[in-house]
């Protein structure tokens, strides 16, 4: 069922509200759309990142091997942008929601760290984190809180460090993938916020939740590939919808 969020008003069906209020376990799957109102660009859609940059060059291991400097320049640019961004009302509402349910997890495809900055505690980072870099030779992992200075950054073993993110064609971190599937299987309700649901295996998580008997509530500015599977699909901006939706429930 699709409902639109007009002039700050949301018609939440009683059956949906009651199922969420009765939920013991809950999860939120987020994509770049949840950070859009914080000024972080999304990937797809009209002026998305992939309409300007070639993912084969910038978001694959082959691209990094070919030109680590270029890839680091792109991640440095994004670090500078993300450093200026602040969590928005959607991130803050999701942090509030965690305190309400017995068991709660944020499953994010985002690498911007904004959920943690908003106060969320249990976060499964499916695609890594832009503030971490790692050495593929000796396993060193370095966390920074400011944009990388020297490009490309070197490990003390001499090898070039890479961003600790998941590129296309790379497996998700095993622990994150396992935990996310377990969370999806056991969620009485999964909120799916700001993702186009085209990138797998993350996009399969709402289907796993649905097939396991969970309620799926989507919040997006437009319909997506999983809208047909959602019990409720709210068309609106996450930063505006999430606080109102949560107020109707909590
Ligand atoms: C894997 C890096 C096993 C981090 C990203 C061919 C070769 C190799 C692999 C594949 C292949 N074909 C298919 C695959 C699998 C591939 C895949 O799914 N491709 C898709 C595109 C078809 N997946 C993978 O490669 C994954 N690994 O499968 O390993 C394997 C191994 C070998 C071979 C095969 C398989 C790894 C995927 C991770 C890729 N990493 N980025 C970074 O730099 O950020 S991709 C990128 O997409 C980000 O991670 C991002 O998080 C992710 C998903 O995008 P979204 O977050 O959903 O963002 P998007 O812009 O798409 O959508 C935003 C949504 O928000 C929109 O719906 C919009 O309407 C909405 N919105 C906008 N504003 C708002 C809003 N909603 C609410 N409020 C708003 N204000």
The atom of ligand 1 lying closest to the CA of 90 is 78
Among 91, 100, 115, 127, the one annotated catalytic: 127
Q: Known catalytic residue: 115?
A: no
pLDDT at residue 239, as a whole number: 98
pLDDT at residue 246, as a whole number: 97
**Residues whose beta carbon lies within 6 Å of some atom of ligand 1:** 31-33, 36-37, 42-45, 48, 59, 109-111, 127, 165-171, 194-196, 198-201, 219-222, 224, 237-238
Q: CATH 3.40.50.1220 residue ranges in the chain?
A: 1-39+87-127+172-250
Q: CATH 3.30.1600.10 residue ranges in the chain?
A: 41-84+130-165
Average pLDDT of the residues in 127-152: 97
Q: Among 2-6, 96-100, 207-211, whose mean pLDDT is lowest?
A: 2-6
Mean pLDDT of the chain: 96
CATH homologous superfamily for 1-39+87-127+172-250? Answer: TPP-binding domain (3.40.50.1220)
pLDDT (tens digit per residue) in 53-103: 999 999 999 999 999 999 999 999 999 999 999 999 999 999 999 999 989
The atom of ligand 1 lying closest to the CA of 199 is 18
Identify the H or E element spanning 143. strand 141-143
Residue 206 near residue 226 (C-beta atoms within 8 A)? yes
Residue 59 near residue 136 (C-beta atoms within 8 A)? no
d(CA 237, CA 234): 9
Average pLDDT of the residues in 184-197: 98
Angle 86-111-153 from CA coordinates, rounded to 5°: 105
Could you tell me the pLDDT band of residue 170, with boundaries at 50, 70 and 90?
Answer: very high
Residue 120 near residue 98 (C-beta atoms within 8 A)? yes
Residue of the nearest CA to atom 9 in ligand 1?
169
Name the fold adopted by 41-84+130-165. Answer: SIR2/SIRT2 'Small Domain' (3.30.1600)
Strands laid side by side in the 2-4 sheet: 2-4, 232-235, 215-220, 189-193, 25-30, 103-108, 123-125
pLDDT at residue 168, as a whole number: 98
pLDDT at residue 75, as a whole number: 98
Could you tell me the pLDDT band of residue 163, with boundaries at 50, 70 and 90?
Answer: very high
Tell whether the model's pLDDT for residue 38 goes beyond 80. yes
Cα 250 to ligand 1 centre (Å)? 31
- Percent of the chain at pLDDT exceeding 90: 94
Cα 249 to ligand 1 centre (Å)? 30
């Amino acid at each position: 069922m699709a409902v639109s969020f007009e002039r700050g008003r949301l018609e939440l069906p009683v059956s949906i509200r009651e199922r969420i209020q009765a939920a013991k376990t809950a999860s939120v799957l987020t994509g770049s759309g949840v950070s859009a109102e914080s000024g972080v660009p999304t990937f797809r859609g009209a002026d998305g990142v992939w309409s300007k940059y070639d993912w084969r060059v910038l978001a694959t291991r082959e691209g990094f091997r070919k030109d680590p400097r270029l890839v680091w320049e792109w991640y440095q640019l994004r670090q500078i942008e993300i450093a200026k961004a602040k969590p928005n009302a959607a991130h803050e509402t999701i942090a509030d929601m965690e305190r309400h349910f017995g068991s709660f997890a944020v499953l994010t495809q985002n690498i911007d760290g904004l959920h943690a900055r908003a106060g969320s505690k249990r976060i499964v980072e499916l695609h890594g984190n832009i503030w971490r870099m790692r050495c593929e030779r000796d396993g060193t992992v370095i966390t920074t809180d400011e944009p990388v200075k020297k490009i490309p950054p070197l490990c003390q073993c001499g090898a070039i460090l890479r961003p600790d993110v998941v590129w296309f064609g790379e497996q998700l971190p095993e622990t994150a993938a396992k935990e996310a599937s377990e969370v999806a299987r056991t969620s009485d309700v999964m909120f799916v916020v700001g993702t186009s649901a085209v990138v797998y295996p993350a996009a399969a998580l709402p289907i796993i939740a649905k097939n396991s008997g969970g309620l799926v509530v989507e919040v997006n500015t437009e319909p997506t590939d999983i809208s047909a599977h959602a019990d409720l699909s709210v068309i609106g901006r996450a930063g505006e919808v999430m606080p109102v939706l949560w107020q109707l429930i909590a």
